[in-house]
Chain A
């Protein structure tokens, strides 16, 4: 069974640009959540999607958005990139919303220059 797959793995963007990151959950998993990992702030919850609906949102500005498709694949978008958005973005999936083992992807490394 394939694990959580994230693309791209590495990318470099310029301040002001926007970026879209993609996540394919484990087959059969319907819940997808996103986290930002930085050396200073650690792992911080961004948002969670279940059945194409955002169920939970962390404390991030509106520049951070996401969506989930009918096949449970998810994308997150960051607009008007800032230097501080440089981070590892982790996607995680679970069978259903809450109460289950959450499996993480390897992450997408975003560098903003």
Chain B
């Protein structure tokens, strides 16, 4: 079964500290992984996707097929990074169906 697990409901760090939001997935084929972010009072928006291998707002994520993980990292957290972060999986090609994790709230304290 396809499943995405985000083990932490809340992650609280101080400004300037490194951040790692964990995401593990279960899928037998070749998944496409995404990170979505929802800032307060804003719509859900794509942060990054693994096939792009890009860094957005200082965040990076590497797909580790051996560990079935797609952790989101940022070396130095900023207060404006405080938001809800969702990891999502698209396991079937040519489909808009996304399987989301439960989300992790990132709280960056001053």
Contacts and interface: CB of A to CB of B under 8 A. Distances in A.
A90 B32 CA distance: 21
A9 to B, nearest CB: 12
Given A42-B100, A42-B101, A98 B95 contact: yes
Contact of B43 (A33, A94, A99, A105): A105
A111 interface: no
B101 to A, nearest CB: 7
Contacts of A14: none
A56 B101 contact: no
A104 B97 contact: no
B98 interface: yes
A91 to B, nearest CB: 10
Residue of B44, B46, B86, B88 contacting most chain A CB atoms (<10 Å): B44
Contacts, number: 61
A39 B100 CA distance: 13
A98 B94 contact: yes
B100 A48 contact: no
A98 B32 CA distance: 11
Contact of B96 (A4, A97, A107): A97
A1 B92 CA distance: 29
Interface string A25-53: 00000010101000000111100101000
Contacts of A56: 92, 95-97
Contacts of B44: 90, 104
A106 interface: yes
Nearest to A40: B102
A95 B101 CA distance: 24
Interface of B: 32, 36, 43-46, 49, 86, 88, 90, 92-103
17 contacts: A4-B43, A42-B100, A42-B103, A43-B88, A43-B100, A43-B103, A44-B100, A48-B95, A55-B95, A56-B95, A98-B93, A98-B96, A99-B32, A101-B46, A102-B46, A104-B44, A106-B43
8 smallest CB-CB distances across A and B, nearest first, come from: A98-B94, A43-B100, A104-B44, A33-B96, A98-B95, A48-B96, A42-B102, A106-B43
